[in-house]
Chain A
Amino acid sequence: MAESILARITLPEKARKGEVVAVRVIVRHPMERAVDAPGLRPVPRKILHTLRVTYAGAEVFRMEMSPGIAANPYVEFTTVAVESGAMVFEWQEDGGTVFRREARLEVA
């Protein structure tokens, strides 16, 4: 079961079929890299390790994220507008939680 997460997804208002569109997404997450050093209270790693984007029935973007990435990661990529429909963003967090958000792309 996918949970909701605070994210800002920016798509063009409208796109022509075949047009290359830029997709921007910022997600709210602390991206906790592990703390484990003498004298410090250990904190387990808890980051969003994968971002997967599906659109028009296909995976259009996938990114593996590492502990070196700052909190509230920002990602920009491009894809080709093929049809009006939902673009589904899925982040996988350490521990197995999946967060999902959707945005609609209108194609004329």
Chain B
Amino acid sequence: MKRAAPLALLAGLGLAALAVAAEVRPPQDYLSPTLRAQQDDPSRHPGWLWVDEGEALWRRGDPSCQSCHGDIAGMAGVAARYPVVAQDGALLNLEGRIERCRMRHQGQPAIGYESEALLSLTTAVASRSRGLPMSVAVDGPAAAFLEQGRTLYETRQGQLNLACGQCHDDNAGRRLRGDVISNGLGTGFPAYRLEWNGVGSLHRRLRACQLGVRATQFELGAPEYTALELFLAHRARGLPVEAPGLRR
């Protein structure tokens, strides 16, 4: 009997380890060792070209982003908190916030969701949160958006009739079309995707996912995607921001 106790404890630990293994892991854990090393090394990661360009844009114009916000270093931690609910009740991701700031405070026309300028600015801002743990607010006005995002995540869709979780929960770590299925988090976005030969937003990636299951795609910047982005950010709580990520 005396020996049984440590055995039971070990078995319990084993179960706990299994439970942890089934948990959501950061996207970098699913990268090949080569790609992971390249993502961690700015001297070999082309996504940092967009960061450089975004930091130049940050200082350009009158008023520039810098005139109000100061040095871009002050943006540390911001990407870990987005998407957020704005004062008027709209859910804004980083792209949406930058566009709104541009129109309201700089008096400029919108630059367009997947434009190089917006991608560069978003990448530059997001890169300042690299390594910081995700922590989005999901209480109060954000709760309804979180549920909307969760519903989209859990609902079967498209001709293949698949819900997100059927790949990203049930089959994470297995291979699909030459790549490893991750837990489907957005922490690396905007990311440099080798398939795109450039940096793209999370919404562009979500469109690719929906195309893959032959579902009707939403527009870039659609509220449905932003709600899903909030759900994914909540799913990734505590995991590090990887932007700019490097993906296949």
Chain B 44-60 per-residue mask, 1 if CB under 8 angstroms from chain A, else 0: 11101100110000000
CB proximity of A27 to chain B, nearest CB, Å? 8
On whether the beta carbons of A24 and B43 are closer than 8 Å, the reply is yes
Whether B43 pairs with A10 at a CB distance below 8 angstroms is yes
Interface residue? B34 (CB, 8 A): no
What distance in Å separates the Cβ of A48 from its nearest Cβ neighbour in chain B?
14
Interface hits, A15-71 → B, CB 8 Å: 24, 26, 28, 30, 70-71
Q: List 16 A-B contacts (CB under 8 A).
A: A6-B52, A7-B49, A8-B42, A8-B48, A8-B49, A10-B43, A24-B43, A26-B46, A26-B48, A26-B49, A28-B46, A28-B49, A30-B197, A74-B44, A74-B46, A76-B44
Interface pair B197/A70, CB less than 8 Å apart = yes
A24 and B49 within 8 A (CB): no
CA distance A79 to B49 in the complex (A): 24
Contact B194 A72 (CB under 8 A): no
| In the assembled complex, B198 has its CB within 8 A of some CB on chain A | yes
Q: Is the CB of B194 within 8 A of A24?
A: no
B197 and A71: CB pair below 8 A?
yes
Contact A72 B197, beta carbon cutoff 8 Å: yes
* Cβ B44 vs Cβ A24 within 8 A: yes
| Interface SS of B by simple majority | helix
Pair A72/B48 contact, Cβ less than 8 Å: no
| Cβ contacts under 8 Å, A28 to chain B | 46, 49, 53
A46 to B75: give the CA distance in the assembly, Å: 37
**Nearest chain-A residue to B50 (Cβ)?**
A28
Q: A residues within 8 Å of B by Cβ?
A: 6-8, 10, 24, 26, 28, 30, 70-72, 74, 76
Contact B197 A6 (CB under 8 A): no
Q: Which residues of chain B are within 8 angstroms of A6 by Cβ–Cβ distance?
A: 49, 52-53
Find chain B residues with CB under 8 A from A74 CB.
44, 46
A53 to chain B, nearest CB (A): 16
Contact of B43 (CB < 8 Å), options: A8, A30, A70: A8
Kindly name the residue among B45, B49, B198 whose own CB sees the greatest number of chain A CB atoms within 10 A: B49
List, in ascending order, chain A residues with CB within 8 A of B197's CB: 30, 70-72
Nearest-neighbour CB distance to chain B for A67, whole angstroms, equals 13
Q: Which residues of the partner chain B approach A7 to less than 8 Å between Cβ atoms?
A: 49
**Residues of chain A lying within 8 A (CB to CB) of residue B53:** 6, 28
A26 to B42, CA, bound (A): 10
Closest A residue, CB atoms, query B197:
A71
What is the distance, in angstroms, from A8's C-beta to the closest C-beta of chain B?
6
Q: Chain A contacts of B48 at CB under 8 A?
A: 8, 26
Partner of A72, one of B42, B52, B198: B198
Q: Looking across the interface, which residue of chain B has its beta carbon closest to that of A76?
A: B44
Q: Are A71 and B198 in contact (CB under 8 A)?
A: yes
Not counting A26-B46, A28-B53, A76-B44, a sample of 20 additional A-B residue pairs whose C-beta atoms are within 8 angstroms of each other reads: A6-B52, A7-B49, A8-B42, A8-B43, A8-B49, A8-B52, A10-B43, A26-B43, A26-B44, A26-B45, A26-B48, A28-B49, A30-B197, A70-B194, A70-B197, A71-B198, A72-B49, A72-B197, A74-B44, A74-B46
